[in-house]
A and B are shown apart, each in its own frame.
Chain A
Amino acid sequence: MNSTLVEVRNLKKHFPSPAGPVKAVDGVNLKIEKGTSFGLVGESGCGKSTLIRVMLKLLEPTDGKVFFRGKDITGYGFRQMRPLRKEMAMVFQDPHLALNPRMTVFDIISRPLKIHGLARGKGELMVQVVETLKAMGLQTEHMIRFPHELSGGQKQRIGVARALVVEPEIIFLDEPTSALDVSVQTKILKLLDKARRERDLTFFFISHDINLIRVVADTMGVMYLGKIVETGPKEILLEDPHHPYTRGLFAAVPEPDPDKIITEIKLTGEVPSPVNPPDGCNFNPRCPYVQSRCREIEPELKELADGRSVACHLY
């Protein structure tokens, strides 16, 4: 039914540190189908942001491969990557830091068009920028503004506009709403959703906020300590999470119901250091169902009958 747009195989990114390599991303396998919205959740520091940057080739992977439309782009240099940059856009977490303070909004949005030669002449450039601005709920007059003259929400709209203006195939969103107020978050999410429907885009969303992923994603992934522990269609995962970490994570989401008794697993203990992850399953020191093999053998991500994949010896 769907075709795979981006695939990642055994992707690793280790950062050198005095204490040994920090295994920020440590063997991630993942497929993003065209036209879907993939939401990846995980705690802060689990390697989500690093994963996005390696997938976009902003960081070189230590090991593993990245495929785009079935082609291995891992070894691509600047020239080979350039046309792909038009297809893979990114929206950053903090809109206050993601815009060049010395460029006007017009310059910020028109740069991608210029780089990829998508507009003939200044008139056409202007029209495209204005159209994108309007689609983002901004006015023509915002073109001459500098980022510091805009509010956080407006800046993030500019960030989204910069990604959308080249009409990419997929947009990588690195917690695009976590730096915004709740009211603004909703607006940005609605805009993103509208853009996705209208332009038939693929999204790769990362967030630490399960509620957000619940709203925006149709495929979910759960990341823990540099690895994907469970992934599958959103409904299946939310309905019946399998991996003990996923269950713990979902149970930890506060619900506005004072009578609710938490019967699910409680996450206890601390996330181990990515410099020195435990042997076997990464989650074994915190897992209530830990068995002896969990401490020795690392579980593979196995696909189950219902369409999900889970990396746990219990399944």
Chain B
Amino acid sequence: MSEDLQKEIASLKQKKTGQMYLTWLRFKRNRLSVVGLSFVLLVIFIAIFAPLLTPYEPYDTNPFRRLESPSREHLLGTDELGRDLLTRLLYGSRIALQVGILIVLFEGFIGISFGLLAGYFGGWIDEIIMRLVDVLRSFPVIILAMAIAGIMGQGLFNVVLAIGLVGWTTYARMVRGKILSIKESDYVEAAFATGESTVSVILRYILPNVLPTAIIMVCIMMPTALIASATLSFLGVGVQPPLPCWGSIAAAGRDYITRAPWISTTAGIFIMFTVLGFNFIGDGLRDAFDPTSKRN
């Protein structure tokens, strides 16, 4: 019996397809999300290999070749200081990803933790956290971020702080709502009935059921974070020149929009493709993480 059983178990292990693989299969079914994934992978590739993709440096100015239109030498032309625009945009992906990831990690961590606390423990903890969420959400994000930048000075980390300070509320609300429904579920009650501890219930029963929601949230919030940081840069309170940042490139190009329209438009296109990419991925993940979705 025991030997047969071992053989049977060994063969089962081979047959068992990993959950990650199944998730990938479901993700792949959605064409648009694969397109989104390729956009994002392309941006990541550009960010890593930017120095190899262009012969120019993002900070090299050339006063004699300012605002040149696209040519064989400068594929997207040059900006107001004679820097190669394509180079600056390629390097800009580094800032964009850095800011985006930092913001999402920062607000995701705070939001998910607070949402978990509020949803699971309820009572006065829930009251305090949710009222704080209400207060923060009543501020216009950009104005608040400008105020923070005004107090703390400009720079990459202050952008992250400013946007994350309001951004976490979206996660907190979402996670709290999800947990409220999971907490009342029969399988959580069943877990307690078998003798599970509170910590174990949170880690084994609640978190695994919240996690997919959280990951989808991250992918959906990423574009918002990117746009917000680009907006701050555009307004001049975010990432500061001469750092190559899509938002500030678009802002700088605004002054020359009639003479050199390619500056603002190409920066905008880069932002658009990255944002679209993350949005498509988010949509695909929503279906992929639902183990019951059987859409072919």
Shortest C-beta distance, B150 to chain A (Å), equals 45
Using Cβ atoms and an 8 Å threshold, which residues of chain A touch B200? 115
Stretch at the interface among A137-145, A219-227, A303-311: A137-145
Q: Is there contact, CB below 8 Å, between B190 and A94?
A: no
> Which residues of chain B in 193-211 are interfacial with respect to chain A, using CB atoms and an 8 Å cutoff?
193-198, 200, 204-205, 208-209
Stretch at the interface among A96-104, A199-207, A290-298: A96-104
Shortest C-beta distance, A96 to chain B (Å), equals 9
Q: Is there contact, CB below 8 Å, between A92 and B5?
A: no
Q: Say yes or no: is B81 at the interface (Cβ < 8 Å to chain A).
A: no
Q: Is there contact, CB below 8 Å, between A85 and B16?
A: no
> Which residues of chain A in 94-126 are interfacial with respect to chain B, using CB atoms and an 8 Å cutoff?
94, 97-103, 111-112, 115-116, 126
Q: Is there contact, CB below 8 Å, between B209 and A98?
A: no
Q: Is there contact, CB below 8 Å, between A126 and B195?
A: no
How many residues of chain A are within 8 Å of chain B by beta carbon? 37
Q: Say yes or no: is B139 at the interface (Cβ < 8 Å to chain A).
A: no
Shortest C-beta distance, B259 to chain A (Å), equals 58
How many residues of chain B are within 8 Å of chain A by beta carbon? 27
Q: Say yes or no: is B189 at the interface (Cβ < 8 Å to chain A).
A: yes
User: Cα distance A100–B188 when bound, in Å?
Assistant: 8
Q: Is there contact, CB below 8 Å, between A126 and B9?
A: yes
Q: Say yes or no: is A58 at the interface (Cβ < 8 Å to chain B).
A: yes
Using Cβ atoms and an 8 Å threshold, which residues of chain A touch B38? none
As a 0/1 sequence over residues 1 to 16 of chain B, the CB contacts with chain A under 8 angstroms (1 = contact) are 0100100110010011
Q: With A126-B5, A140-B12, A148-B291 known to touch, is A100 a contact of B195 (CB < 8 Å)?
A: no
As a 0/1 sequence over residues 130 to 160 of chain B, the CB contacts with chain A under 8 angstroms (1 = contact) are 0000000000000000000000000000000
Q: Say yes or no: is B185 at the interface (Cβ < 8 Å to chain A).
A: yes
Using Cβ atoms and an 8 Å threshold, which residues of chain A touch B186? 92-94, 97-98
Q: Is there contact, CB below 8 Å, between A100 and B8?
A: no
Q: Is there contact, CB below 8 Å, between A81 and B195?
A: yes
Using Cβ atoms and an 8 Å threshold, which residues of chain B touch A103? 204, 208
Q: Is there contact, CB below 8 Å, between B193 and A85?
A: yes
Using Cβ atoms and an 8 Å threshold, which residues of chain A touch B197? 78
Shortest C-beta distance, B44 to chain A (Å), equals 29
Q: Is there contact, CB below 8 Å, between B5 and A58?
A: no
User: Cα distance A98–B185 when bound, in Å?
Assistant: 7
Shortest C-beta distance, A247 to chain B (Å), equals 34
Q: Say yes or no: is A9 at the interface (Cβ < 8 Å to chain B).
A: no
Using Cβ atoms and an 8 Å threshold, which residues of chain A touch B12? 140-141, 143-144
A111 contact from B8, B185, B194, B291, Cβ within 8 A: B194
Shortest C-beta distance, B249 to chain A (Å), equals 44
Q: Which residue of A lies closest to B198 (CB)?
A: A78
Q: With A98-B187, A140-B9, A148-B291 known to touch, is A111 a contact of B196 (CB < 8 Å)?
A: yes
Q: Is there contact, CB below 8 Å, between B209 and A100?
A: yes
> Which residues of chain A in 31-64 are interfacial with respect to chain B, using CB atoms and an 8 Å cutoff?
53, 56, 58
Q: Is there contact, CB below 8 Å, between B209 and A89?
A: no
Q: Is there contact, CB below 8 Å, between B204 and A115?
A: no
Using Cβ atoms and an 8 Å threshold, which residues of chain B touch A78? 197-198
A140 contact from B5, B185, B192, Cβ within 8 A: B5
Q: Which of B2, B194, B208 has the most CB of A within 10 A?
A: B194
Q: Is there contact, CB below 8 Å, between B15 and A144?
A: yes
Q: Is there contact, CB below 8 Å, between A112 and B194?
A: yes
Q: Say yes or no: is A82 at the interface (Cβ < 8 Å to chain B).
A: yes
Shortest C-beta distance, A180 to chain B (Å), equals 15
As a 0/1 sequence over residues 127 to 148 of chain A, the CB contacts with chain B under 8 angstroms (1 = contact) are 1001000000000110110101
Q: Say yes or no: is B191 at the interface (Cβ < 8 Å to chain A).
A: yes
Q: Say yes or no: is A13 at the interface (Cβ < 8 Å to chain B).
A: no
User: Cα distance A85–B209 when bound, in Å?
Assistant: 24
Q: Say yes or no: is A86 at the interface (Cβ < 8 Å to chain B).
A: yes
Q: Is there contact, CB below 8 Å, between A127 and B208?
A: no
User: Cα distance A115–B197 when bound, in Å?
Assistant: 9
Q: Is there contact, CB below 8 Å, between A102 and B208?
A: yes
Using Cβ atoms and an 8 Å threshold, which residues of chain A touch B192? 58
User: Cα distance A159–B5 when bound, in Å?
Assistant: 23
Q: Is there contact, CB below 8 Å, between B187 and A97?
A: yes
Q: Say yes or no: is B292 at the interface (Cβ < 8 Å to chain A).
A: yes
Q: Is there contact, CB below 8 Å, between A58 and B291?
A: no
Q: Is there contact, CB below 8 Å, between A90 and B5?
A: no
Q: Which residue of B lies closest to A90 (CB)?
A: B193
B194 contact from A85, A130, A141, Cβ within 8 A: A85
Q: Which residue of A lies closest to B293 (CB)?
A: A148
Q: Say yes or no: is A162 at the interface (Cβ < 8 Å to chain B).
A: yes
User: Cα distance A127–B193 when bound, in Å?
Assistant: 23
User: Cα distance A89–B189 when bound, in Å?
Assistant: 12
Q: Which residue of B lies closest to A168 (CB)?
A: B194
A82 contact from B8, B189, B195, B292, Cβ within 8 A: B195
Using Cβ atoms and an 8 Å threshold, which residues of chain B touch A58? 189, 192-193
As a 0/1 sequence over residues 60 to 90 of chain A, the CB contacts with chain B under 8 angstroms (1 = contact) are 0000000000000000001001100110111
Cross-chain pairs A/B with CB under 8 angstroms, 10 sampled: A58-B189, A97-B185, A97-B186, A99-B187, A115-B195, A116-B195, A130-B5, A143-B12, A144-B15, A159-B190
A contact set with B: CB distance below 8 Å = 53, 56, 58, 78, 81-82, 85-86, 88-90, 92-94, 97-103, 111-112, 115-116, 126-127, 130, 140-141, 143-144, 146, 148, 159, 162, 166
What 6 pairs across the A-B complex have the smallest Cβ distances? Answer: A85-B195, A102-B208, A97-B186, A98-B186, A112-B194, A90-B193
Question: Known contacts A115-B195, A130-B5; can you find 11 more A-B pairs with CB under 8 A?
Answer: A58-B189, A58-B193, A82-B195, A85-B195, A99-B187, A100-B191, A101-B187, A102-B209, A111-B196, A130-B9, A146-B291
B contact set with A: CB distance below 8 Å = 2, 5, 8-9, 12, 15-16, 185-187, 189-198, 200, 204-205, 208-209, 291-292
